[in-house]
């Protein structure tokens, strides 16, 4: 689950009238240098990828006037003048051949004035009206050049689409990454990326060395901003107001910005904005204004003078982290597994009774409160908790809430619609509500759920119950499954006050030689 951030509110007098949610990520080529929230969410990047789709064509950009390449990386408004120019450029026989192969759905122009004219004159719909027309034509040019099939260029397994995926994989230094794709509005497969990955790609666009094809694409975009969008479009206006800056609007609230190398940012900077209100670019521009101002850039702000703005983030300022303890207190009140040794603390010396120090000892089962099981708890091995890597128990984690009936098993199907985006997953069931009173009908894991989580790269599973297996289970299939996959366990945690989302988990076990388990002090830090 991706939790969006509150970016800006618009007040009418003292009443909040509009609230913009979203996410902003800044990448400097080495790391994310600023983010408004947790940027693990993945999104179809659609039109933001056009510069890189043109790069993947492998076409020589010197083969015709540079202006004619500009709409290939843009999402044009299709003004009457733009459409007229496009029709002049694509008049040769080869272009006519490509026109017959286009997979575009015919649309009205995005430009309001031209759309009204087309309707008024009852003009036929034309592929020249489509925002992605020139991109498709460039892909067909590449297919002709390479001898590839022109009929199925829109399919994921087509050579061009494979080359495109390889292009962005190589740029992100992830040559083996199998990107998931969705079908874009123009019928092409669109890779699904994180916002930080997309910001990294835009940083590459902004910093591409002179003489490279990517630098030429940057030059095309900055030289012909009207062809990237159109009159009054946010990306066009940003480029006109800031020399050398690249801006590109994307579908459904995405805005990409690339800054060239400078003394302050020697590797350039990539910025990606995602607002959760659909295709409202003026809201995206408004949301990113404080960040652009902090970088010394001109902004594109448009809102009613009746409104007062309040931003909920400060550019390049880290957020204060919140720490949540998810361990129950250990005392004689803590419930343990029936038959296990209860927790007992014996005070040997006490300063409150005149002794010079307080000294005590404890006796208890190792499976008490928040704890982790060792491999030798269920497997025939000498490997105790002291052999477990402490790195497994610390790092980014994802809390997922699954609510089912008493005594039920968490199944693979319960994760449908819940993307696993962290290596550590904690399940909030609220089925063991009182750590001082043992109830036997708590929820637990099925083997197939463990197998599924392991297949997603999960290295630790946690649950807010005493065990990942049912109370009555003797076979313990979930325990055997986690140890088979090399996955760690965290049991007995308290998640009642924890919302779904992403955190940093700390839950290091004690180094008990040969121990079959260890209590932990587990806590979550907001990211």
pLDDT in tens, 154-175: 999 999 999 999 999 999 987 6
Phi-psi map region of 265: left, alpha, beta (phi>0 left; psi -120 to 50 alpha):
beta
Q: ∠ CA 256-258-259 to the nearest 5 degrees?
A: 150
- For residue 526, what are its two tokens? 């907001």
Q: Do 5-311 and 324-526 come out as alike in CATH topology?
A: no
What is the structure's pLDDT at 251?
84
How confident is residue 321, by pLDDT bands cut at 50, 70 and 90? Answer: low
As beta bridge partners, residue 424 has 397, 460
pLDDT at 288 over 90: yes
What is the structure's pLDDT at 316?
84
Q: Are 270 and 205 in contact (CB under 8 A)?
A: yes
Higher per-residue pLDDT: 22 or 38: 22
How confident is residue 39, by pLDDT bands cut at 50, 70 and 90? Answer: low
What is the structure's pLDDT at 320?
60
pLDDT at 1 over 60: no
Measured in whole angstroms, how far is the alpha carbon of residue 405 from the centre of its chain?
31
Give me the architecture of the 5-311 domain, per CATH: 3-Layer(aba) Sandwich (3.40)
Q: Are 220 and 71 in contact (CB under 8 A)?
A: no
What is the structure's pLDDT at 13?
86
Taking each helix axis from N to C end, the angle separating 159-171 and 195-207, rounded to the nearest 10 degrees, works out to 80
What is the structure's pLDDT at 4?
66
Of 365, 405, 407, 412, the C-alpha closest to 516 is: 365
The DSSP symbol for 144 reads H
3-state secondary structure of 16: strand
CA distance 331 to 343: 6
Residue pLDDT, tens place only, 499-511: 999 899 999 999 9
Residue pLDDT, tens place only, 174-222: 766 678 899 998 899 999 999 999 999 999 999 999 999 999 999 999 9
CA distance 9 to 183: 33
CA distance 72 to 50: 7
What is the structure's pLDDT at 185?
86
How confident is residue 317, by pLDDT bands cut at 50, 70 and 90? Answer: confident
CA distance 471 to 271: 50
Q: Are 326 and 493 in contact (CB under 8 A)?
A: yes
380 phi, psi to nearest 5 deg = -80, 85
What is the structure's pLDDT at 176?
65
CA distance 374 to 264: 50
- For residue 446, what are its two tokens? 């099925």
Higher per-residue pLDDT: 417 or 154: 154
Half-sphere exposure of 332 (CA within 13 A, CB side): 4
N-to-C CA span, the chain: 14
pLDDT at 494 over 60: yes
Percent pLDDT > 90 in the chain is 81
Residue pLDDT, tens place only, 64-86: 899 999 999 999 999 999 999 99
Q: What mean pLDDT is reported for the chain? A: 93
3-state secondary structure of 82: helix
Least confident of 6-10, 38-42, 403-407, 521-525: 38-42
Least confident of 33-42, 234-243, 325-334, 445-454: 33-42
Q: Does domain 324-526 have CATH number 3.50.30.50?
A: yes
CA distance 126 to 102: 11
Q: How many CB atoms lie within 10 A of CB 309?
A: 14
Q: Are 488 and 372 in contact (CB under 8 A)?
A: yes
Element (H, E) at 310: strand 307-311
The DSSP result for 438-498, as a single string, is --S---EE-HHHHHHHHHTT--EEEESSS-SS-TT-SS-HHHHHHHHHT-EEEES---TT-
- Beta-sheet pairing, 5-12 with 15-27: antiparallel
Block residue for tokens 């999960």: 458
pLDDT at 2 over 60: no
Residues 6+ apart with CB under 8 A from 477: 446, 447, 469
Active-site residues: which are they?
377
The structural domains of the chain, with segments of one domain joined by +, span 5-311, 324-526
Quote the pTM value: 0.65
């Amino acid at each position: 689950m991706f939790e969006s951030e509150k970016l800006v509110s618009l007040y009418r007098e003292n009443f909040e009238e509009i609230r913009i949610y979203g996410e902003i990520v800044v990448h400097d080529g080495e790391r994310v240098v600023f983010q408004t929230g947790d940027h693990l969410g993945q999104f179809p990047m659609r039109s933001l990828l056009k510069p890189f789709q043109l790069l993947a064509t492998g076409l020589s950009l010197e083969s015709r006037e540079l202006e004619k390449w500009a709409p290939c990386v843009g999402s044009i408004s299709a003004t009457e003048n733009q459409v007229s120019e496009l029709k002049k450029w694509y008049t040769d026989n080869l272009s006519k051949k490509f026109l017959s192969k286009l997979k575009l759905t015919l649309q009205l122009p995005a430009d309001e004035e031209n759309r009204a004219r087309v309707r008024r004159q009852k003009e036929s719909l034309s592929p020249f009206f489509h925002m992605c027309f020139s991109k498709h034509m460039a892909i067909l040019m590449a297919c002709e050049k390479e001898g590839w099939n022109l009929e199925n260029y829109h399919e994921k397994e087509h050579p061009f689409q494979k080359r495109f995926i390889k292009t962005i994989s190589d740029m992100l230094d992830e040559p083996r990454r199998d990107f998931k794709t969705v079908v874009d509005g123009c019928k092409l497969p669109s890779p699904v990326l994180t916002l930080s990955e997309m910001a990294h790609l835009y940083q590459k666009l902004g910093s591409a060395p002179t003489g490279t094809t990517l630098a030429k694409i940057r030059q095309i975009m900055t030289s012909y901003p009207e062809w990237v969008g159109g009159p009054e479009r946010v990306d066009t206006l940003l480029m006109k107001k800031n020399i050398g800056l690249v801006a590109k609007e994307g579908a459904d609230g995405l805005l990409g910005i690339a800054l060239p190398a400078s003394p302050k940012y020697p590797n350039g900077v990539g910025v990606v904005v995602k607002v959760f209100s659909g295709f409202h670019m003026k809201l995206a521009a408004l949301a990113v204004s404080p960040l652009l101002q902090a970088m010394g850039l001109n902004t594109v702000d448009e809102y009613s003078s009746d409104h007062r703005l309040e931003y909920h983030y400060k550019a390049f300022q880290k957020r204060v982290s919140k720490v949540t303890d998810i361990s129950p207190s250990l005392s004689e009140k803590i419930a343990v597994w029936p038959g296990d040794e209860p927790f007992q603390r014996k005070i040997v010396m006490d300063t409150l009774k005149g002794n010079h120090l307080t000294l005590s000892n404890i006796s208890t089962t190792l499976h008490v409160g928040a704890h982790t099981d060792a491999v030798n708890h269920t497997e025939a091995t000498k490997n105790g908790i002291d052999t477990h890597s402490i790195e497994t128990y610390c790092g980014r984690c994802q809390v997922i809430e699954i609510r089912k009936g008493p005594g039920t098993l968490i199944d693979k199907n319960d994760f449908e619609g819940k993307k696993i985006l962290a290596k550590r997953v904690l399940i909030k069931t609220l089925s063991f509500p009182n750590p001082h009173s043992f109830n036997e009908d708590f929820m637990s894991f099925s083997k197939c759920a463990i197998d599924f989580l392991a297949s997603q790269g999960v290295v630790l599973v946690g649950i807010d119950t005493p065990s990942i297996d049912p109370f009555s289970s003797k076979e313990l299939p979930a325990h055997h499954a986690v140890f088979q996959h090399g996955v760690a366990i965290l049991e007995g945690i308290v998640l009642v006050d924890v919302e779904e989302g992403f955190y940093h988990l700390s839950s290091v076990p004690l180094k008990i030689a040969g121990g079959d388990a260890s209590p932990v002090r587990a806590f979550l830090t907001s990211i």
